[in-house]
Structure 1
Amino acid sequence: MCIFCKIAKKEIPAKLVLEDDDLVAFHDINAQAPIHVLVIPKQHITGIGEVTDEHVTVLGKLLVAARRIAEDAGLSQSGFRVVVNHGQHAGQTVHHLHVHVLGGRPLAWPPG
């Protein structure tokens, strides 16, 4: 079982921001911006490269949750970034689908 599965099952503590039947959101312990929240499905999905049509609903919920987290954090006016990494070259270190919500400072482009 991966670390994100353990967080979703509350076997490992995390600073939760949002939770429902399908997902959980929590502050990243290695924050890259003043606001850095991870949104994960409770169901283990290795990454965006493994999603199928059966995941459409949970994927939509992840993005709606990202918008809500940004709004609640006061990032709607200044802006925020939503990132999904897949695989080693993209920087994915935990192989459980997750969405990064980043903001609270100017973010450079291109990332990386």
Structure 2
Amino acid sequence: MVEETIFSKIIRREISADVVYQDELVTAFRDISPKAPTHVLIVLNVLVPTVNDLLPIHEESMGHLFTVALKIARSEGIAEDGYRLIINCNRHGGQEVNHIHMHLLGGRPLGPMLAY
């Protein structure tokens, strides 16, 4: 059994969050510690801990993350100038919550991909 996450409670609206989008496959909400003027997390509604745990049945949901990211980027007014999409995997990848999610960041130049 996979342990429930804080994201599961946000999806079910048991914990307050600034939800910007929700449908049957994903929920998107503003990050509580934003790294850019726009920082939205787009989360699968089913609990899949990491990219390593994906199965073929998750393909539609994972593809949907990208179309929802575009929809949100447009509604936030950052699509034209550009934005960054990040999915972290496990500890070395920077994943902090074991529930697949995509970070949508934009609203300013984001600089290099990695800082050393």
TM-score scaled to structure 1, two decimals? Answer: 0.96
The Cα offsets for residues 30-55 of structure 1, whole Å up to 9 and x where unpaired, read as 10000000000110010112111110
Aligned residues: 112
Q: Aligned residue for 2:54?
A: 51
Q: Aligned residue for 1:92?
A: 95
Question: Which letter maps to 2:50?
Answer: G
Which sections of structure 2, spanning at least 5 residues, go unmatched? none
- Secondary structure of the residue aligned to 1:7 is helix
Question: Which letter maps to 2:21?
Answer: L
Q: Aligned residue for 2:79?
A: 76
CA RMSD in angstroms, aligned pairs only: 0.8
CA–CA separation in structure 2 for the residues paired with 1:49 and 1:62: 17
Runs in 1 of length 4+ with deviation above 2 angstroms? Answer: none
Q: Aligned residue for 1:64?
A: 67
CA–CA separation in structure 2 for the residues paired with 1:111 and 1:75: 21
Decide which of 11, 27, 31 is 1:28's aligned counterpart. Answer: 31
Question: Which letter maps to 2:98?
Answer: H
Shift of 1:90: 1.1
Q: Percent identity over the alignment? A: 37
CA–CA separation in structure 1 for the residues paired with 2:86 and 2:42: 10
CA–CA separation in structure 2 for the residues paired with 1:11 and 1:71: 28
CA–CA separation in structure 2 for the residues paired with 1:46 and 1:102: 22
Which sections of structure 1, spanning at least 5 residues, go unmatched? none
